[in-house]
Amino acid sequence: MRHGGAGGCAMTPRKVTVVGAGNVGGSIAQRLAERQGYDIVLVDIVDGLPQGKALDLAQAGAVRGEDSRIIGAGCYDETAGSDAVVITSGMARKPGMSRSALLATNIGIVQSVVRDASARSPAAILVIVANPLDAMTYVAWRVSGFPRRRVVGMAGILDSARFRLFIARELNVPVSEVQAMVLGGHGDAMVPLIRHTTVGGRPVNECLSPERLEALITRTRNGGAEIVNFLKTGSAYYAPAASVVQMVEAMLRDEGAVLPCAALCDGEYGLTDISMGVPVRLGKHGVEEILEFDLTPDERAAFNLSAQGVRDLCREVDKLLGA
């Protein structure tokens, strides 16, 4: 039995649905199960996959003395009443496949998932992991009809973590001593805020030469591709899963943590009706606030360029969905 709070009163578990039982979805379910305090539903269209992984995870919990409830399902009925729905489903780009074709394919997948999940959990917070991330977050907002604060994408946490790790290894310091914030579109168009990047409280540009710092920024931008090149037939999943769980816990535990996430902007940073990587405060309602940092002229130029790329994707989404 789970206990917590004053006097050891039993805590009511929060319900989290994870759509997609692949490597990312399975890793998210595992991390949530190990934290306890969650009822987890793992959903996938592949017959037997979510059920098998859920049973395996439940048995792992028995080894560890944990009793998180986790079930696998091939449909959405078991997901009803979820507090959060994490959407990892989507197709990876195949050789010879155009960006537009990938976008159209994943719009169809995410559109279907959002409709099924939101109909059964109309008060849930949607957490998007499917790619292209910024565009799929925008799709989920449009299709669900949810308030913008209840649709959020995982992006900047992962980019920031990669940047922090590379800096820490370069300087041979604990990663906990490195603070960083990465905004903008997920991937090549990310915008690291150097003035807000510190090592043991010191500005990072006092610790690294401009050349080494730029090399680490480039490596961060290519962080996902570097892992793909090693794996050959897959992509990152441990770090994305850890990033999602940090978001879910910040919201369902009402932590008020400030984290870089893809959120729907409505005037912040001069942006309207696009999803974009920005600093947000996460709490029980989802995105409680978008924080507007002061940007240098160079940061503003890079951020605007990144925003233009995201805006183009969102307008393409509008065409495909029917504006």
> Strand pairing of 14-19 and 84-87?
parallel
> Strand pairing of 257-266 and 151-153?
antiparallel
Can you list the domains of the chain with their CATH numbers? 6-153 (3.40.50.720), 156-321 (3.90.110.10)
Query: How far apart are the C-alpha atoms of 268 and 207, rounded to whole Å?
Result: 32
User: What confidence category does residue 5 fall into, taking pLDDT thresholds of 50, 70 and 90?
Assistant: very low
**pLDDT value at position 323?**
66
Q: Label residue 8 left, alpha or beta by phi (over 0 means left) and psi (-120 to 50 means alpha).
A: left
Q: Tell me what the pLDDT averaged over the chain comes to.
A: 93
User: What confidence category does residue 8 fall into, taking pLDDT thresholds of 50, 70 and 90?
Assistant: very low
Query: How far apart are the C-alpha atoms of 83 and 40, rounded to whole Å?
Result: 10
Q: What is the CA radius of gyration of the chain?
A: 19
Residues designated catalytic: 186
Give the C-alpha distances (Å, rounded to integers) separating 140 from 14, 83, 200.
22, 16, 39
Query: How far apart are the C-alpha atoms of 268 and 99, rounded to whole Å?
Result: 28
Phi, psi of 239 (to 5 degrees): -70, -45
User: What confidence category does residue 4 fall into, taking pLDDT thresholds of 50, 70 and 90?
Assistant: very low
Give the C-alpha distances (Å, rounded to integers) separating 237 from 21, 73, 124, 304.
12, 21, 24, 29
Q: Which of 113, 23, 123 is nearest to 75 (CA)?
A: 113
Query: How far apart are the C-alpha atoms of 62 and 119, rounded to whole Å?
Result: 33
- Give 66-112 pLDDT, tens digit per residue: 888 999 999 999 999 999 999 999 887 666 666 667 888 999 999 99
CB 121 within 8 A of CB 113: no
> Strand pairing of 198-199 and 202-203?
antiparallel
- Mean pLDDT is lowest, of 4-8, 45-49, 70-74, 290-294, for 4-8
Per-residue pLDDT, averaged over 289-302, amounts to 94
- Which residues are within 8 A (CB) of 102 and not within 5 positions of it... i.e. 6 or more apart? 91, 93, 132
CB 302 within 8 A of CB 217: no
Maximal C-alpha separation, the chain: 61
Question: Which tokens belong to 86?
Answer: 């994490």
**In this model, does residue 7 exceed pLDDT 50?**
no
CB 261 within 8 A of CB 180: no
Q: What is the pTM of this model?
A: 0.94
CB 261 within 8 A of CB 127: no
